[in-house]
Copies of this chain bind each other. A is one copy, B any other.
Amino acid sequence: MLRTHTCGQLNISNLGETVTLCGWVQKSRDLGGTTFIDVRDRYGLTQLVLNTESDAGLREAGRELGREFVIKVTGKVLERSNKNTKIPTGGIEIAVTELEVLNAAKIPPFLIEDETDGGEELRAKYRYLDLRRNPIRNNLVLRHKMAQEIRRYLSDLDFIEVETPVLIKSTPEGARDFVVPSRMNAGEFYALPQSPQTFKQLLMVSGFDRYFQIVKCFRDEDLRADRQPEFTQIDCELSFITQEDILNIFEGLTRHLFRNVKNLELGDFPRMQYADAMRLYGSDKPDTRFGMQFVEVSDIVKGKNFGVFDNAELVVGINAKGCANYTRKQIDELTEWLKRPQIGATGLIYARHNEDGTIKSSVDKFFNEEELAKWQAAFETEPGDLILLLAGQTDKVRKQLNELRLEIGSRLGLRDKNKFSPLWVLDFPLLEWDEETGRYHAMHHPFTSPKPEDIALLDTDPKNVRANAYDLVINGTEIGGGSIRIHDRELQSLMFKHLGFSAEEAQKQFGFLMDAFEYGAPPHGGIAFGFDRLASIFAGLDSIRDVIAFPKNNSGRDVMIDSPSTIAEAQMNELKIKTVVS
């Protein structure tokens, strides 16, 4: 090795040893006839000392080192007079006797320090420099540890990691598939998997019993906030199990990870029906770090000649604890915020429960004291609280109030990144009406099984068919979701029929899976976690981008390597394709 130790290794027990270190110059400072240099590697920082008295030439060479120069130094470990107790190597320093520059460095375009002065664009372009910074590197070390612990937990439970193919088949459902032209089969394309779903189900048919994979998946979609065209899933599937088994095993995985990676014991994993989540939080992924549940008050508020309420399908609100002191201006701002197109609320009604016990609403001309007392009772307000109400079409108003609840929760400091509140959301609807295509879509995917008692509703009341489907939510973020699958050809065909497939289309696209179901498919189910998201939660980050070594930007571009890019005419000719960009 070029070095005897890393820059994070030496301490008082090494006094007197002659050592060789390699690393990057973090900073240097002169103090009289002495130069102090901090040399850095992944493992830590060590202080080097060069002074004129012992070797003037060497000291001069040390003074000429720039930030981020790569050096190799040999010297003796000495005790520091001025100890730095904040770092493990802070008790010692190296009296350098040999210094070699392994590589010079230009001045970096931004500071390689925990707090940097580089903007997002610049850091993306020089990602390899940004990755030198401790906070970013630590995220990836954390991610590595998580992956190790995930594999350990699952392997100990007899799960086998099996690699499924990346070059698979495009499906008409797969409007968001990336496709790959085949040279050997000109005119034909592979697709990159949005998930290994059908393959993991086939592995169950094969009797693998317990499968997992930490695997890259791909989706060519408009990159809304914090999506990546390639992302990583923790993909799992099991045979001969019930939903209850799956919830327990993956609650166990989550606990294991928090315990072994974050040294944290999680509390309960409560379970909530999808319908309740929507009713109480207006979301299928409620942030349960705080309460502030929805209170539906249509019954109380209707019939008082206030058109906004009377014409609404639902009037629902929250109790913003302690917010009665919001000024009119603050409330107006909140109203404007709610009216933005992303949220689209039409107005906000409020009532203050004042410190003097009175209740004062924005609609006092319709609601007298007695009426407002009913509001107080419904929201269980105390003096100082603020009732915020929205009215409108049920689905929309719930969605809007969800945004408002999260906003108020943030303002009240109720969304602590160091608190973790897991929640299972159960019994999702099987189908979801798609306005755009005018037909039902599978809410999870077409392989999710309906609850047996709801199958009859498929014909009469499709939107109320519940699925054996579940999501794991932490702090308002869906980190995993899965279902008990269909393992019966007939039921799978029925499902495709209800999704608008003709029998021929279904056979053409998924015939291999339905055929497989006829050769002895076991009951099975599974779950997939978004690993990027999970890692970002562990790292306390809002974005997944900094738990990914080389992420793409919002346009799906890697600005460091400048990709995607045009390709040579000759290559397109070989692939028998042409671009038709106008």
Spell out A's residues near B (CB within 8 Å): 1-3, 6, 22, 24, 40-43, 68-70, 72, 102-106, 108, 126-129, 131-132, 137, 140-141, 144, 147-148, 151, 155, 160-170, 172, 175, 177-192, 198-199, 202-203, 205-209, 216, 218, 220, 222-223, 229-230, 232, 239-242, 245, 487-488, 512, 516-523, 548-550, 552, 555-558, 560-568, 571, 574-581
Q: Closest 8 A-B residue pairs measured CB to CB?
A: A105-B520, A169-B563, A131-B206, A187-B581, A188-B564, A68-B520, A182-B564, A22-B240
For the complex, what is the distance from the CA of A178 to the CA of B206, rounded to whole Å?
Answer: 30
Interface SS of A by simple majority = loop
Q: Are B2 and A523 in contact (CB under 8 A)?
A: yes
Taking CB atoms, residues of chain B closer than 8 Å to A185 are 555-557, 564
Q: Are B182 and A160 in contact (CB under 8 A)?
A: no
How close is A150's CB to chain B, nearest CB, in angstroms?
A: 11
Taking CB atoms, residues of chain B closer than 8 Å to A181 are 179, 181, 577, 579
Q: Are B522 and A70 in contact (CB under 8 A)?
A: yes
Greatest chain B CB density within 10 A among A72, A198, A577 is at A577
Taking CB atoms, residues of chain B closer than 8 Å to A164 are 549-550
Neighbour of A186 across the interface among B488, B568, B576, B581, CB < 8 A: B581
Q: Are A128 and B563 in contact (CB under 8 A)?
A: no
Neighbour of A488 across the interface among B103, B552, B558, CB < 8 A: B103
How close is A57's CB to chain B, nearest CB, in angstroms?
A: 23
Neighbour of A102 across the interface among B126, B175, B222, B522, CB < 8 A: B522
For the complex, what is the distance from the CA of A147 to the CA of B147, rounded to whole Å?
Answer: 13
Q: Which partner residue on chain B sits nearest A516 by CB separation? A: B128
For the complex, what is the distance from the CA of A488 to the CA of B216, rounded to whole Å?
Answer: 33
How close is A570's CB to chain B, nearest CB, in angstroms?
A: 8
For the complex, what is the distance from the CA of A575 to the CA of B162, rounded to whole Å?
Answer: 32
Q: Are A242 and B548 in contact (CB under 8 A)?
A: no
How close is A421's CB to chain B, nearest CB, in angstroms?
A: 28
Q: Which partner residue on chain B sits nearest A554 by CB separation? A: B184
Given contacts A105-B519, A148-B155, A552-B167, contact A208 B69 (CB under 8 A): no
Greatest chain B CB density within 10 A among A72, A207, A222, A518 is at A207
Q: Which partner residue on chain B sits nearest A568 by CB separation? A: B172
Taking CB atoms, residues of chain B closer than 8 Å to A188 are 564-566
Q: Are B180 and A192 in contact (CB under 8 A)?
A: yes
Q: Are A207 and B42 in contact (CB under 8 A)?
A: yes
Q: Which partner residue on chain B sits nearest A573 by CB separation? A: B580
Known: A151-B151, A184-B555, A577-B579. 4 other contacts (CB 8 A): A6-B209, A167-B178, A175-B571, A512-B561
For the complex, what is the distance from the CA of A184 to the CA of B581, rounded to whole Å?
Answer: 12
Q: Which partner residue on chain B sits nearest A152 by CB separation? A: B148
Q: Are A549 and B199 in contact (CB under 8 A)?
A: yes
For the complex, what is the distance from the CA of A155 to the CA of B148, rounded to whole Å?
Answer: 9
Neighbour of A1 across the interface among B22, B172, B191, B240, CB < 8 A: B240
How close is A27's CB to chain B, nearest CB, in angstroms?
A: 14
For the complex, what is the distance from the CA of A192 to the CA of B567, rounded to whole Å?
Answer: 13
Taking CB atoms, residues of chain B closer than 8 Å to A187 are 566, 579, 581
Taking CB atoms, residues of chain B closer than 8 Å to A102 are 522-523
Given contacts A106-B519, A555-B184, A563-B190, contact A1 B168 (CB under 8 A): no
Taking CB atoms, residues of chain B closer than 8 Å to A162 are 140, 144, 549
Taking CB atoms, residues of chain B closer than 8 Å to A141 are 160
Taking CB atoms, residues of chain B closer than 8 Å to A578 are 577-580
For the complex, what is the distance from the CA of A565 to the CA of B512, rounded to whole Å?
Answer: 14
Q: Are B161 and A129 in contact (CB under 8 A)?
A: no
Q: Which partner residue on chain B sits nearest A519 by CB separation? A: B105
Q: Which partner residue on chain B sits nearest A215 by CB separation? A: B216
Q: Are B41 and A209 in contact (CB under 8 A)?
A: yes
Given contacts A207-B132, A519-B129, contact A565 B488 (CB under 8 A): no
Taking CB atoms, residues of chain B closer than 8 Å to A140 are 160, 162, 208
Neighbour of A562 across the interface among B6, B40, B169, B550, CB < 8 A: B169
Taking CB atoms, residues of chain B closer than 8 Å to A519 are 68, 105-106, 108, 126, 128-129
Greatest chain B CB density within 10 A among A6, A147, A161, A189 is at A189
How close is A319's CB to chain B, nearest CB, in angstroms?
A: 43
How close is A404's CB to chain B, nearest CB, in angstroms?
A: 32
Q: Are A189 and B512 in contact (CB under 8 A)?
A: no
Q: Which partner residue on chain B sits nearest A523 by CB separation? A: B102
Given contacts A131-B208, A185-B557, A576-B580, contact A563 B168 (CB under 8 A): yes
For the complex, what is the distance from the CA of A523 to the CA of B206, rounded to whole Å?
Answer: 47
